[in-house]
């Protein structure tokens, strides 16, 4: 095959990185300089030119979505599907290893992943059982446990330094872990820690994976935490070839244990490292890039780098001072309307905010304006109560010892099992070191009143019956049967009004999710186990199933790595962003500024920055100053918009000088490409165009293939026929 597509559209520095010798490589570069592109092309280069088997590559990205996108891009560069290529998040990859080697990892085969809500519930129970006083806040205990795990520490590694509070924390960590181990429950931090211990303690297994994964490709390296780095380090050994890309200015997860210092550590651990710097930005207009550079220049802790663009100067950054949060939402929606009316894709517009709760008002506005939108990480489908109820049934069917699921549904729908009965089960379980399931069976036969015993036995019987009835159903029918036969649907139907209705709809949507779920034939687990793991892993990211063209809403944290022609940074107020708790902490403030840099650099063409003088959030009214980050953008790049006179005035009647220049990003129009168009691909078969972006040689389309799922293809070298 002609290698040109892989090296085309790369500058010299990018090409140097893509074609580097098999030696440790560190690409360190600012936003939008093509780091992710380099990583993708590197993978394709290794496979296609260096003839490295895809089997020998391990690629780590930051989200499942990014992983899927990377796979698509590699496939479109190679113009063929690549199987046996491991691409995923650290958590996803760790999970895969634990599934394969559950025995060596000391886990039951049907172990379940618990998300942070489940984790918190277990900890609450623990704190209550131990009859600790109110100074023991479950959330703080949770934070402590996760922080230790992120550092790779077990209770036995911890010293209380003679501090009784710390001693109790360590004891709680130990108790919590025992509880999880007994129920076969694995929290997010545990996935990483166990996967590390798996290799550390099984030299033969490690040797196997070292032989297998020669090339380790890591995106967003600046946000790796201690245990992730240790895991990579272990895998790389002396012979592996780590190829990592990152930007110290975009390190935004310190609060979750990420350590930007790993960039320096890497160079110490791998002294032969070649460092490549990329300095040209291809994403944003000069105005946007200069503004971002000016803001981040206020940070003292930086490795320092130049970033320039050949791109056009572009439009000024519009700063809008809203009267309150509703006015802010109206403004944003007015601009979105213009954008859509001009024929742009909704999906090319993103509204970013600092904290999740800010989305509600924006969502209301979008709903009223009938603009379709999608929230990433906010309304997490798999975290909605009714969905978790249904999943708990499924999990209990898969594993009777899953206490967290047991407690969740033992009396849901209500079946006469009261708090006292549950408490009796708990103390039996505690005294006998057994699961709630076993405890329930044991006490039903002697300790309980006959009414309570009947209720408990009926529940145990129900679960056994569901397990039996669905044992040879396919996943979709299994889910469908369970949500009905468990009584959940009827339970929520009784809840009159919109809420109950939405819950029923959500449950039914779970059946569709199961229907659309494609188990990976390479995974050695039942489709149900795989679906449940998928649900737990996806919940952290929200879902992206809607292929409808819609506006994107997300926190600035979730926007990392993404780019959009039109971006709104909303809620830019001191106290909100920078966040209140970081205002008096220099390190915290620098992290917030990096987050602001991430936010600004998501924009390709048009950037709006909005703040409100008065804001009602979490039920409280606040009056705030505009974010200090706004004043860090030099005036020359800013145009202020202040419609104080009449707040309710429709924004699109603003004076022409304030109107955004019209921008055309309707790609592929000249090539006759349109959304919904049917196409045929030489390898992937027939499909429909869902999305397109970029222009000329860079134009790409997203195609939903009837068999292969959705893929992004570069028009200029994908062999696509219009039908």
Instruction: With contacts defined by CB under 6 A, name the span among 7-15, 112-120, 130-138, 468-476 that binds ligand ATP.
Output: 7-15
471 CB burial (10 A radius; 0-12, 13-18, 19+): exposed
Instruction: With contacts defined by CB under 6 A, name the span among 32-40, 535-543, 616-624, 662-670 that binds ligand ATP.
Output: 32-40
Binds ligand ATP by CB under 6 A, chosen from 7, 9, 200, 575: 9
285, 650, 662, 683 from 658: Cα distances, Å:
18, 14, 12, 49
* 123 token code pair: 């900890």
* Cross-strand bridge partners of residue 26: 244, 275
Closer CB to ligand ATP, 412 or 711, in the complex = 711
Least separation in angstroms between CB 74 and ligand ATP: 13
| Sign of the CA dihedral running 396, 402, 404, 407 | positive
* Lookup result for tokens 């990592």: 244
Closer CB to Mg ion, 527 or 561, in the complex = 561
Closer CB to Mg ion, 27 or 630, in the complex = 27
Instruction: With contacts defined by CB under 5 A, name the span among 320-328, 558-566, 607-615, 691-699 that binds Mg ion.
Output: 558-566
What is the rounded (10 degree) CA torsion for 87, 90, 95, 98? 100
- Omega before 479 cis (within 30°)? no
Least separation in angstroms between CB 620 and ligand ATP: 34
Size of the site for Mg ion (CB under 5 A): 3
Instruction: With contacts defined by CB under 5 A, name the span among 30-38, 378-386, 624-632, 688-696 that binds Mg ion.
Output: 30-38
Question: Is residue 14 within the footprint of ligand ATP (CB under 6 A)?
Answer: yes
Angle at 255 between CA 253 and CA 260, to 5 degrees: 50
- 573 contacts: CB under 8 Å, gap ≥ 6: 611, 612, 615, 622, 624, 625, 626, 627
Binds ligand ATP by CB under 6 A, chosen from 25, 36, 476, 677: 36
Question: Distance (Å, rounded) from C-alpha 231 to C-alpha 218?
Answer: 12
* Cross-strand bridge partners of residue 60: 88, 218
110 binds, among ligand ATP, Mg ion, none (CB under 5 to 8 A by kind): none
Nearest Cα neighbor of 374 from 536, 542, 517, 501 is 542
Least separation in angstroms between CB 697 and ligand ATP: 9
Instruction: Tell me how far the alpha carbon of residue 631 is from its chain's centroid.
Output: 31
Question: Is residue 16 within the footprint of ligand ATP (CB under 6 A)?
Answer: no
Binds ligand ATP by CB under 6 A, chosen from 17, 18, 20, 35: 35
Binds ligand ATP by CB under 6 A, chosen from 13, 17, 28, 31: 31
Question: Distance (Å, rounded) from C-alpha 59 to C-alpha 241?
Answer: 12
9 binds, among Mg ion, ligand ATP, none (CB under 5 to 8 A by kind): ligand ATP
Closer CB to Mg ion, 543 or 601, in the complex = 601
Question: Is residue 318 within the footprint of ligand ATP (CB under 6 A)?
Answer: no
Instruction: With contacts defined by CB under 6 A, name the span among 10-18, 362-370, 447-455, 659-667 that binds ligand ATP.
Output: 10-18
Question: Distance (Å, rounded) from C-alpha 59 to C-alpha 232?
Answer: 11
Residue number with the smallest Cβ distance to ligand ATP: 34
Closer CB to ligand ATP, 220 or 407, in the complex = 220
Least separation in angstroms between CB 13 and ligand ATP: 9
- 712 contacts: CB under 8 Å, gap ≥ 6: 69, 72, 73, 76, 700, 701, 702, 703
* 581 token code pair: 């708790």
Window 665-704: residues binding ligand ATP (CB under 6 A): none
Instruction: With contacts defined by CB under 6 A, name the span among 34-42, 93-101, 207-215, 539-547 that binds ligand ATP.
Output: 34-42
Closer CB to Mg ion, 282 or 637, in the complex = 282
Question: 379: how many CB neighbours lie within 10 A of its CB?
Answer: 16
**CB-based contacts of 267-275 (< 8 A; 24+ apart in sequence):** 267/26, 269/233, 270/24, 270/236, 270/242, 272/23, 272/24, 273/23, 273/24, 273/25, 273/26, 274/20, 274/21, 274/23, 274/24, 274/25, 274/26, 275/25, 275/26, 275/27, 275/28
Question: Is residue 454 within the footprint of ligand ATP (CB under 6 A)?
Answer: no
| Catalytically annotated residues | 35-36, 219-220, 250, 602
Question: 177: how many CB neighbours lie within 10 A of its CB?
Answer: 17
116 binds, among ligand ATP, Mg ion, none (CB under 5 to 8 A by kind): none
Question: Is residue 34 within the footprint of ligand ATP (CB under 6 A)?
Answer: yes
* 369 token code pair: 């304006």
Least separation in angstroms between CB 580 and ligand ATP: 27
- 345 contacts: CB under 8 Å, gap ≥ 6: 549, 665, 691, 692, 693
Question: Is residue 11 within the footprint of ligand ATP (CB under 6 A)?
Answer: yes
Instruction: With contacts defined by CB under 6 A, name the span among 27-35, 481-489, 566-574, 637-645 that binds ligand ATP.
Output: 27-35
Question: Is residue 32 within the footprint of ligand ATP (CB under 6 A)?
Answer: yes
* 419 token code pair: 């708090």
Question: Is residue 24 within the footprint of ligand ATP (CB under 6 A)?
Answer: no
* Cross-strand bridge partners of residue 679: 687, 722
The phi, psi pair for 107, rounded to 5°, reads -115, 155
Site string for ligand ATP, 236-255 (x = CB under 6 A): -----------x--x-----
Question: Distance (Å, rounded) from C-alpha 387 to C-alpha 390?
Answer: 5
Least separation in angstroms between CB 5 and ligand ATP: 13
Question: Is residue 246 within the footprint of Mg ion (CB under 5 A)?
Answer: no
User: What are the respective helix, strand and coil percentages of the chain, to the nearest 5?
Assistant: 50, 15, 35
As a whole number of angstroms, the longest Cα–Cα distance in the chain is 82
Question: Is residue 561 within the footprint of Mg ion (CB under 5 A)?
Answer: yes
128, 435, 477, 553 from 601: Cα distances, Å:
46, 50, 45, 16
Question: Is residue 36 within the footprint of Mg ion (CB under 5 A)?
Answer: yes
Question: Is residue 295 within the footprint of ligand ATP (CB under 6 A)?
Answer: no
Closer CB to ligand ATP, 119 or 293, in the complex = 293
- Going by the DSSP 8-state scheme, the letter that residue 707 receives in this structure is T
Question: Distance (Å, rounded) from C-alpha 292 to C-alpha 594?
Answer: 10
Residue number with the smallest Cβ distance to Mg ion: 36
Question: Is residue 282 within the footprint of ligand ATP (CB under 6 A)?
Answer: yes
Question: Is residue 283 within the footprint of ligand ATP (CB under 6 A)?
Answer: yes
Instruction: With contacts defined by CB under 6 A, name the span among 4-12, 342-350, 433-441, 484-492 that binds ligand ATP.
Output: 4-12
Rg (the chain; Cα; Å): 27
Question: Is residue 33 within the footprint of Mg ion (CB under 5 A)?
Answer: no
33 binds, among ligand ATP, Mg ion, none (CB under 5 to 8 A by kind): ligand ATP
Closer CB to Mg ion, 222 or 533, in the complex = 222
Question: Is residue 242 within the footprint of Mg ion (CB under 5 A)?
Answer: no
* DSSP result, 536-570: HHHHTT------S--EEEEETGGGTT--EEEEEE-
Question: Distance (Å, rounded) from C-alpha 513 to C-alpha 204?
Answer: 39
14 binds, among ligand ATP, Mg ion, none (CB under 5 to 8 A by kind): ligand ATP
Window 555-584: residues binding ligand ATP (CB under 6 A): 561, 563
34 binds, among Mg ion, ligand ATP, none (CB under 5 to 8 A by kind): ligand ATP
Window 575-634: residues binding ligand ATP (CB under 6 A): 601
Binding positions for ligand ATP, rule: CB under 6 A? 9-11, 14, 29, 31-37, 247, 250, 282-283, 561, 563, 601
What is the contact surface with Mg ion in residues (CB under 5 A)? 35-36, 561
């Amino acid at each position: 095959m002609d290698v040109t597509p892989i090296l085309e559209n790369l500058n010299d520095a990018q090409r140097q990185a893509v074609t580097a010798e098999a030696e440790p490589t560190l690409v360190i570069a600012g936003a939008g300089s093509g780091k992710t592109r380099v990583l993708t092309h590197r993978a394709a280069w290794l496979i296609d030119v260096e003839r490295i088997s895809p089997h020998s590559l391990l690629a780590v990205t930051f989200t499942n979505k990014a992983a899927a996108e990377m796979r698509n891009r590699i496939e479109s560069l190679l113009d063929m599907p690549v199987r046996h290529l491991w691409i995923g998040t650290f958590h996803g990859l760790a999970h895969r290893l634990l599934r394969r080697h559950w025995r060596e990892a000391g886990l039951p085969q049907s172990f379940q992943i618990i998300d942070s809500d489940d984790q918190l519930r277990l900890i609450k129970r623990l704190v209550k059982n131990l009859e600790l006083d109110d100074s023991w806040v479950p959330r703080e205990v949770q934070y402590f446990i996760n922080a230790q795990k992120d550092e790779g520490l077990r209770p036995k590694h911890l010293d209380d330094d003679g501090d009784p509070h710390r001693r109790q924390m360590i004891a709680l960590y130990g108790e919590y872990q025992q509880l999880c181990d007994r129920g076969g429950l694995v929290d997010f931090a545990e996935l990483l820690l166990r996967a590390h211990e798996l290799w550390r303690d099984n030299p033969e297994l490690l040797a196997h994976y070292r032989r297998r994964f020669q090339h380790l490709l890591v995106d967003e390296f600046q946000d790796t935490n201690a245990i992730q780095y240790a895991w990579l380090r272990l895998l790389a050994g002396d012979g592996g070839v780590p190829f990592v890309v990152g930007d110290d200015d975009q390190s935004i997860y310190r609060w979750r244990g990420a350590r930007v210092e790993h960039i320096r550590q890497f160079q110490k651990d791998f002294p032969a490292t070649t460092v490549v710097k990329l300095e040209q930005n291809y994403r944003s207009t000069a105005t946007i890039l200069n503004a971002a550079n000016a803001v981040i220049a206020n940070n003292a802790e930086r490795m320092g780098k130049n970033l320039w663009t050949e791109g056009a100067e572009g439009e000024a950054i519009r700063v809008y001072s809203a009267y309150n949060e509703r006015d802010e939402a109206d403004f944003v929606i007015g601009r979105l309307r213009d954008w859509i009316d001009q024929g742009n894709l909704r999906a090319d517009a993103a509204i970013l905010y600092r904290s999740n709760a800010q989305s509600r008002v924006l969502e209301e506005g979008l709903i009223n304006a009938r603009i379709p939108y999608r929230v990433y990480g906010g309304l997490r489908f798999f975290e909605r109560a009714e969905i978790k109820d249904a999943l708990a049934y499924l999990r209990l069917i898969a594993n009777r010892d899953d206490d967290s699921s047991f407690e969740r549904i033992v009396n849901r729908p209500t079946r006469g099992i009261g708090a006292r009965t549950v408490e009796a089960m708990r103390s039996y379980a505690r005294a006998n070191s057994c699961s709630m399931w076993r405890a329930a069976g044991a006490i039903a036969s002697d300790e309980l009143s006959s009414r309570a015993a009947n209720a408990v036995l009926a529940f145990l019987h129900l679960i056994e019956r569901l397990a039996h009835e669905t044992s040879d159903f396919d996943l979709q029918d299994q889910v469908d049967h369970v949500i009905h036969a468990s009584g959940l649907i009827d339970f929520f139907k009784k809840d009159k009004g919109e809420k109950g209705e939405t819950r029923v709809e959500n449950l039914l949507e779970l059946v569709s999710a199961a229907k659309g779920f494609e188990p990976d034939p390479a995974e050695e687990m039942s489709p149900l186990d795989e679906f449940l793991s998928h649900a737990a892993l996806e919940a952290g990211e929200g879902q992206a199933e809607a292929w409808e063209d819609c506006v994107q809403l997300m926190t600035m944290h979730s926007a990392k790595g993404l780019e959009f022609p039109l971006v709104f940074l909303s809620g830019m107020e001191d106290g909100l962003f920078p966040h209140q708790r970081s205002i008096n902490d220099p390190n915290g403030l620098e992290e917030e500024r990096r987050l602001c840099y991430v936010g600004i650099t998501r924009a390709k063409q048009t950037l709006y920055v909005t703040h409100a003088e008065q804001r009602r959030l979490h039920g409280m009214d606040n009056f705030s100053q505009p974010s200090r980050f706004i004043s860090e953008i030099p005036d020359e790049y800013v145009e202020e918009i202040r419609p104080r006179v009449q707040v309710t005035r429709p924004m699109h009647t603003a004076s022409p000088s304030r109107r955004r220049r019209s921008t055309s990003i309707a790609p592929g129009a000249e090539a006759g490409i349109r959304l919904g168009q049917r196409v045929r691909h030489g390898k992937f078969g027939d499909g429909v165009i869902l999305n397109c972006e970029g222009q000329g040689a860079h134009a790409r389309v997203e195609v939903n293939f009837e068999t292969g799922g959705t893929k992004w293809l570069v028009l200029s070298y994908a062999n696509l026929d219009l039908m």
